[in-house]
Amino acid sequence: MCFSAEASFIVGGTLLIIGVATIRKTHHKQDIIIALIPLIFATQQIIEGFLWISLINNSMLHAQFWLSNIYGVIIGVIWPFYAPFAVYKAETNARRKKILGSIVVVGLGLSAYTILGLINQPIVTQIINYSISYKHEVAGYQFVIVMYLLATCVPFIFSSYRHLSIAGIVLTIGFFVAFLTYTETFASVWCFFAAITSSLIYLYITRRINNPLIPVPSGIS
Q: Residue 159's closest CA among 31, 3, 12, 22?
A: 31
Domain boundaries of the chain, sorted by first residue:
5-126+136-210
| H helix or E strand, kind and range, residue 23 | helix 5-25
Whether pLDDT at 212 is above 60: no
- Residue range 13-21: mean pLDDT, rounded: 92
Cα–Cα distance list, 126 to 5, 53, 57 (Å): 14, 12, 12
Look at residue 138 in the predicted model and tell me its pLDDT: 79
> By percentage, how much of the chain surpasses pLDDT 70?
93
Predicted structure pTM score: 0.86
Whether the per-residue pLDDT at 60 is higher than 90: the answer is no
Among 162, 192, 161, 160, residue whose Cα is nearest residue 175: 192
Residue 92's pLDDT band, with cuts at 50, 70 and 90, is: confident
% of the chain exceeding 90 in pLDDT:
44
C-alpha 158/C-alpha 171 separation (Å) is: 13
User: What 3-state class would DSSP assign to 135?
Assistant: strand
Across residues 43-53, what is the average pLDDT? 92
Residue 215: per-residue pLDDT: 47
